[in-house]
Structure 1
Amino acid sequence: MIKKGIRRQIVLHYFFVVFLALLLAEVVFLFAMRTYYYDTIYRHIELHADYVSDLTQPLRMPGQSLNANMINNFKIERTLLEVLDEQGNVIINSSGFESKRKIQTSDVAQALTGGTGRWVGKQSGTGQQVMAVSKKLSGISGDEVYILRYVTSLQAVNDRIFYITLLSISVGAAVLTIVLIFSIGLANSIVRPLNDITEVSAQMAKGKFDVRITGNYRHELGELASTLNYMAQEVVHTNQVKDDFISSISHELRTPLTSIKGWSETLNSGGFDPDETKIGMQIISKETDRLIGLVEEILDFSKLQSNEMKLVMGSVDLRELLQEIMLNVWAKAELKKIKLSLDVEERPYLVHGDGNRLKQVFLNIVDNAVKFSHESSSIYITIRKEDQQMAVSIQDTGIGISEEHLHKVRDRFFQVDHQNGGTGLGLAISQQFVERHGGELLMNSVLGQGTTVTVKLPALEEPSGTTDISEAEPAQQPN
């Protein structure tokens, strides 16, 4: 007995379908076989009855009547011939025994209407199954009506049909046996890999992501095995990234906290002149801002992941937004003698978006460009309209990114250089913000030559007749 499960379901379904198909084929075959045999007997007797009808001319001549010699000429081997009158009474038969029976079967009634009657049933007295074929004959001037009735036993034919039935059932049983064996093998070929995959999946569920599904499985099972292996690989990678992030963020948090705690204790001890106190308070303020920035970045990412981030959409002028960002990073760029250049025409570049979030996107990109650029280098910012999009490109001549890392830098928690600090979430958050605006973020970089980041956003149609920036719709200023 096959235990419950997919194996049993496959075997039962496959067996049931084949069983129904065989059963239908058996029924149709046996019905066709029975019809063929019965029809063959009927046609044989019918042809003989038609032939006899052509030889009954003597009955149509005066003074002629049925006699035993005629009956012997009309009969068929292994068939009883009865001659009936119009009321169904037996006048004479080929057996030689006198019969007082009155025949009232359906074949007699059909013969009286002028056709050839046929009846299959059990003969009274013997209980044997027989076939009766009757045909009407007319006497002189049509006044005398006779019915020739041939009765033949169907026992031999039924025995032959029964033998064929047993043979077909045996063949069907053999086919079902082969199908059962084949279906069990088929079920095992499906269930065995599933059991292997289930076993490995159970180990993965317990946290053992170093295990892998082995075996050359094909089709959907192969895809399932590959997907689970890929999932385990990604989980291992994610865990490693998470561990790196925790280590990095712990260091990022510890550094400003150490500075804040050290200067707080120092200032609390007293005895400092106003200049030293001012320096200490500035350091505490700067490190506090840094902590707030780290926490806000993590909170933003958490909201994006849970789809809780709400955008306040409005009209935003990218030219004004980028000018403000350049002012924000100017001091940091000045320390490295980096030249910031914004190459745009004096006209509005309008998009529909959240000014604060777009500022966060471009500030992150420009800040990264400054962070990873060489001293005395340049950063070029351009805006151009492409079809129905505004494309903002930030190009630097800094250290660049290798091909190996280029497709990973937008992954969450990923950092090319852990020594530069940060959470590894900046570009991941920026990309999600851009995608939420219906745009795309593209990156092109050559190691040692620099990086170009392009942000494409859906353009907002400018008011008709606008030629001067003072006449354009005011842009929403980011906070």
Structure 2
Amino acid sequence: MIKKGIGRQIVLHYFFVVFLALLLVEVIFMIVIRAYYYDTIYKHVESRIQSVSEFAPKFKEPGQSLQSYLLNTFSLGDTELQLLDEKGNVIDNSTNFAAETSVQTSDVTQALAGDTGSWIGKQPGTGQQVMAVSKKLDNIVGDQVYIVRYTTSLEKVNDKLFTITLFSVGIMVAVLVIVFVVSTGLANSIVRPINNIRDVSAQMAQGRFDARIKGDYRFELGELASTLNYMAQEIARTNQIKDDFISSISHELRTPLTSIKGWSETLNSGGYDPEETKIGMQIISKETDRLIGLVEEILDFSKLEQDAMKLVMGTVDLRELLQEIMLNVWAKAEMKQIKLQLDSEEEAYLVHGDGNRLKQVFLNIADNAIKFSHESSIIFLSLQKIGDNIEVSVQDTGIGISAENLARVRERFFQVDHQNGGTGLGLAISQQFVERHQGQMLIKSELGAGTTITVSLPALQAEQPVEPPQLTEG
């Protein structure tokens, strides 16, 4: 017995469909065979009646009656020949059995109407199924009306049909057995991979992301297995990135907290001159700002993931924004003797967007450029209008990014160099902010040759009114 499940459903559906098809074929076959046998008998008898009807008007045998001559000459084996009058009364027959007094079956009625009539039914007295074929003889001498009626038993034919039926039913049963065996094998070939996929998926659900679905499955099952394996691989990779992020962010948080705690305890103990106290307070303030930046970056990412980030939209001049960013990162660039150079026309580059979020995007890009650039190098910032867009490019000649890391650099928590710190969320957040402004961010890089990041934003058209800042759902 096949247990409940998709295997049983497959077997039952195949079995049911084939059974209905075979049953339909069986019924049609038996109807056709029965019609063939019955029609053969009818045509044989009908041809004999035709001979009788052609012969009777020409009968001229002195000393012998037409009735006797017809009964003796045109009889058929295993068939009773009857001569009836116009009222259906039996005048004579070819057998020794007592004749019926009157025959009122439909074949007689049809014969009286001028057709060759036929009737199939049970013979009174014997109960046998018979076929009767009747025809009226025309142009008989003496104007006597005769109806020639042949009655033949169908028992032998029915026995033959019954044998054929049994044989065809046997074939039907054999086919159903074969279908059952084949469909069971087919169901098992489908269910086994599904059970394997289910078992491995259960292991994945329990956190075993190293489990893999093994087997060369074809078609949709193969695609499903590949998808689940890829999902497990991606989850394992994401978990590893998450673990690396937790490790990195723990270090990033611990370092400023250690400085703040150390200087707080030092200042609290007293005995320091004002200059030393001022240095300590500056360090505490700097590390506090660093902590705030880390927390805000994580909060921004969380809001973007939950689609809860709101943008304060307004008119933004990207040239002024880049100049402001250059002032913000100037001190950090000066520490590595890096020069920042802005290349743009002396005009306004207006876009419709959130100034603070766009500043966050370009500040992150510029900060990364400084972080991964060599000392005494130059970072080029450029602005240009191309069609209906404004492109902002930040190009450095730093360490660059390998092709392998370039494909993943915008993934959340991913860091090219863990030693430089950070959360690995900067570019992921920047990418989403650019997309929220209907823009695009393109990164080109070559390991050891530097990186160029280009942000393309829709330019504010001349016919567009300058709108005051307004909140929009992120």
Q: TM-score range by the shorter chain?
A: over 0.9
Aligned counterparts of 1:24 and 1:450: Cα–Cα separation in 2:
77
Question: Relative to structure 2, which stretch is displaced further, 194-203 or 171-180?
Answer: 194-203
Distance 1:417 1:52, change over 3 A: same
Distance 1:329 1:297, change over 3 A: same
Q: For 1:276-316, what per-residue CA distance to the aligned partner results, in whole angstroms no more than 9, with x for missing partners?
A: 22222221111111111101111111111122222233333
Aligned counterparts of 1:134 and 1:456: Cα–Cα separation in 2:
99
Q: How many pairs does the alignment contain? A: 471
Q: For 1:34-82, what per-residue CA distance to the aligned partner results, in whole angstroms no more than 9, with x for missing partners?
A: 1111111112222222222111214799999642122222332221112
**Per the alignment, in what secondary structure is the counterpart of residue 175 of structure 1?**
helix
**Per the alignment, in what secondary structure is the counterpart of residue 307 of structure 1?**
coil
Q: For 1:341-386, what per-residue CA distance to the aligned partner results, in whole angstroms no more than 9, with x for missing partners?
A: 2222233333333222222111111111111111121111223333
Displacement after TM superposition at 1:248 (Å): 0.5
Distance 1:24 1:389, change over 3 A: farther
> Can you give the 5+ residue segments of structure 1 that lack an aligned partner in the other structure?
465-471
Aligned counterparts of 1:334 and 1:295: Cα–Cα separation in 2:
26
**Per the alignment, in what secondary structure is the counterpart of residue 135 of structure 1?**
strand
**Per the alignment, in what secondary structure is the counterpart of residue 316 of structure 1?**
strand
Which residue does 1:419 correspond to in 2? Answer: 419
Displacement after TM superposition at 1:29 (Å): 1.1
Distance 1:438 1:118, change over 3 A: farther
Aligned counterparts of 2:351 and 2:65: Cα–Cα separation in 1:
117
Which residue does 2:200 correspond to in 1? Answer: 200
1:87 paired to 2:87:
yes
Q: For 1:137-193, what per-residue CA distance to the aligned partner results, in whole angstroms no more than 9, with x for missing partners?
A: 234589543222111111111111111111111111111111111111111111112
Distance 1:365 1:35, change over 3 A: same
Alignment of 1:55-454 (within 5 A): 55-58=55-58, 66-140=66-140, 144-454=144-454
Tell me which amino acid in the other structure corresponds to 1:233. Q
> Can you give the 5+ residue segments of structure 2 that lack an aligned partner in the other structure?
none
> TM-score w.r.t. structure 2 length?
0.93
Aligned counterparts of 2:457 and 2:141: Cα–Cα separation in 1:
109
Cα contact 2:52–2:70 (8 A) shared by 1: no
Displacement after TM superposition at 1:407 (Å): 0.8
Q: For 1:230-257, what per-residue CA distance to the aligned partner results, in whole angstroms no more than 9, with x for missing partners?
A: 2222222111111111110001001111
Displacement after TM superposition at 1:16 (Å): 1.3
Aligned counterparts of 2:399 and 2:430: Cα–Cα separation in 1:
21
Cα contact 2:53–2:138 (8 A) shared by 1: no
Tell me which amino acid in the other structure corresponds to 2:438. G
Which residue does 1:469 correspond to in 2? Answer: none
Question: Relative to structure 2, which stretch is displaced further, 453-462 or 367-376?
Answer: 453-462
Which residue does 1:38 correspond to in 2? Answer: 38
Distance 1:68 1:348, change over 3 A: farther
Tell me which amino acid in the other structure corresponds to 2:377. S
Aligned counterparts of 1:383 and 1:144: Cα–Cα separation in 2:
123
Aligned counterparts of 1:311 and 1:30: Cα–Cα separation in 2:
79
Q: CA RMSD in A?
A: 2.4
Q: For 1:183-223, what per-residue CA distance to the aligned partner results, in whole angstroms no more than 9, with x for missing partners?
A: 11111111112222222222222222222222222222222
Which residue does 1:468 correspond to in 2? Answer: none
**Per the alignment, in what secondary structure is the counterpart of residue 124 of structure 2?**
coil
Displacement after TM superposition at 1:474 (Å): 7.5
Which residue does 1:16 correspond to in 2? Answer: 16
Distance 1:392 1:96, change over 3 A: same
> TM-score w.r.t. structure 1 length?
0.92
Aligned counterparts of 1:35 and 1:248: Cα–Cα separation in 2:
89
Distance 1:80 1:390, change over 3 A: farther
Distance 1:54 1:459, change over 3 A: farther
Question: Relative to structure 2, which stretch is displaced further, 342-351 or 111-120?
Answer: 342-351
Displacement after TM superposition at 1:423 (Å): 0.3
Distance 1:85 1:458, change over 3 A: farther
Aligned counterparts of 1:162 and 1:344: Cα–Cα separation in 2:
100
Cα contact 2:382–2:393 (8 A) shared by 1: yes
Aligned counterparts of 1:29 and 1:280: Cα–Cα separation in 2:
104
**Per the alignment, in what secondary structure is the counterpart of residue 311 of structure 2?**
coil
Aligned counterparts of 1:477 and 1:180: Cα–Cα separation in 2:
70
Question: Relative to structure 2, which stretch is displaced further, 246-255 or 83-92?
Answer: 83-92
